[in-house]
Amino acid sequence: MLDLQYNPKDSHVLAGGLMNGGVAAWDLRVKGDKPTAASPPHVAHRDFVRNVLFINSKSGLEFFSGGPDGAVKWWDIRKIEEPTDEMIIDLVKTQNDVQTMANSNGVSALEYESTLPTRFMVGTENGLVINGNRKGKSAMDKLPAKFDAHVGPVWRVERNPGFLKNFLTVGDWTARVWSEECRESSVLWTPPARHRITNGTWSPTRVSLMLLTQYDGNLSIWDLLRRQHEPVLTMQVCEEPLVTVRSHDAGSLLTCGSQKGNIYLLELSQNLATSDKNDKLLLTAVLERESKRERILEARLREIRLKQRQAEGSPVHSVSDMEATLGDRDLNEAAQEFMQITRKEFAAL
């Protein structure tokens, strides 16, 4: 078994993803060591199942799964003999293109927010984060947006509990905070760590707090309102690599899991587990400021690309020095405009 999730509506029910590509469910009230429901082999994933997540449904018994085969499947525990829905994570370029398993992107992470019942997000093995919509009519509508997030697999995707349009991604040696409005680049990111970052999560009670695990056994705690260039706290939890971290809903307790199968229970101090009354307003200002900066840069880059295409298509065979430095000038103007905006916002605070 590679992933196991409790049902948020009924803690007696669990769903798991298996190495053979199947999924299974257990009910702790039923005696015995076998699952109460398991998918048959002919409808399973073509490779192992890396992730399962319960979704918001009337029965509370539906979940979805993903793995390296590039497919996402939805299941109902009551009728697990076949998936209720399936989607291939293949980013087509036109409405007429057909999605195929040969061109699919292997899934390395899943994200689901219960307040957005038809939407989901996947992190892929090639570093992409893709928005999904189950109600999309065409292939392009089903996968409407992608983000070039990391070099290598994306190990974690999680929306901020207080700002749903902003989400955390973990991969390579960095953790990044994104806005759905900015697809070219993340709005905040950690400097590259010496050791690979393996997982991460938001604090459910302090919305500016990120908890990140590293391959060297360290847990780093980042507070976006205090410091953005370094963690506020780093602690050595164990000697072996940490591979997962989850926080309790109350915020003060968290668990870390290691590569050797050990679980460590940690307790955060009160100032790391609770928010001040102005924290949400301050984080709103930070995220909006950084998103605006990225939108300014994206607009400038689009102008630069357009001018470059126009220059390449013109009868003039060489570009003058003035045209060659046009992009640098535009970026400098964007940087100056950004600094003016930040000064005004800090003055207002």
What DSSP assignment string belongs to 39-74? --GGGS-SS---EEEE---SSS-EEEEE-TTSEEEE
pLDDT score recorded for residue 40: 96
Of 150, 178, 154, nearest to 164 by C-alpha is 178
Exposure class string for 61-95: b at 16+ Cβ within 10 A, else e: bbbbbbbbbbbbbbbbbeebeebeeebbbbbbeee
Helix (H, G, I), strand (E, B) or coil at 275: coil
Alpha-carbon span 103 to 163, nearest angstrom:
33
Contact 212, 200 (CB under 8 A): yes
Contact 193, 174 (CB under 8 A): yes
Alpha-carbon span 262 to 240, nearest angstrom:
9
pLDDT score recorded for residue 349: 60
pLDDT score recorded for residue 311: 84
The DSSP call for residue 95 is T
* Number of neighbours of residue 179 by Cβ within 10 angstroms: 22
Residue-wise pLDDT tens digits, 43-101? 999 999 999 999 999 889 999 999 999 999 999 999 999 999 999 999 998 888 889 99
The DSSP call for residue 12 is T
* Number of neighbours of residue 284 by Cβ within 10 angstroms: 13
The list of the chain residues with pLDDT below 50 reads: 316-326
| Vertex 167 angle, CA 94 and 348, to 5° | 115
Side chain identity at 282, as an amino acid letter?
L
Sheet (strand 218-223) strand order: 197-202, 209-214, 218-223, 233-236
Return the structure tokens found at 346: 């800090």
User: CA torsion, points 329, 331, 334, 339, in degrees to nearest 10?
Assistant: -100
For 164-218, the DSSP string reads: TTEEEEEETTEEEEEETT--SS-SEEPPPPSS-EEEEEE-SSSTTEEEEEETTSE
pLDDT score recorded for residue 335: 67
Alpha-carbon span 22 to 65, nearest angstrom:
9
pLDDT score recorded for residue 302: 84
Contact 18, 48 (CB under 8 A): yes
Alpha-carbon span 335 to 337, nearest angstrom:
5
Question: Strand 107-111 and strand 85-88: pairing?
Answer: unpaired
pLDDT score recorded for residue 316: 44
- For the chain, give percent helix, strand, coil, nearest 5: 25, 35, 45
Alpha-carbon span 326 to 300, nearest angstrom:
11
pLDDT score recorded for residue 324: 43
Of 24, 8, 27, nearest to 16 by C-alpha is 24
Of 118, 178, 106, nearest to 142 by C-alpha is 118
pLDDT score recorded for residue 314: 55
pLDDT score recorded for residue 55: 95
Of 157, 130, 160, nearest to 287 by C-alpha is 160
Radius of gyration of the CA atoms of the chain, in A: 22
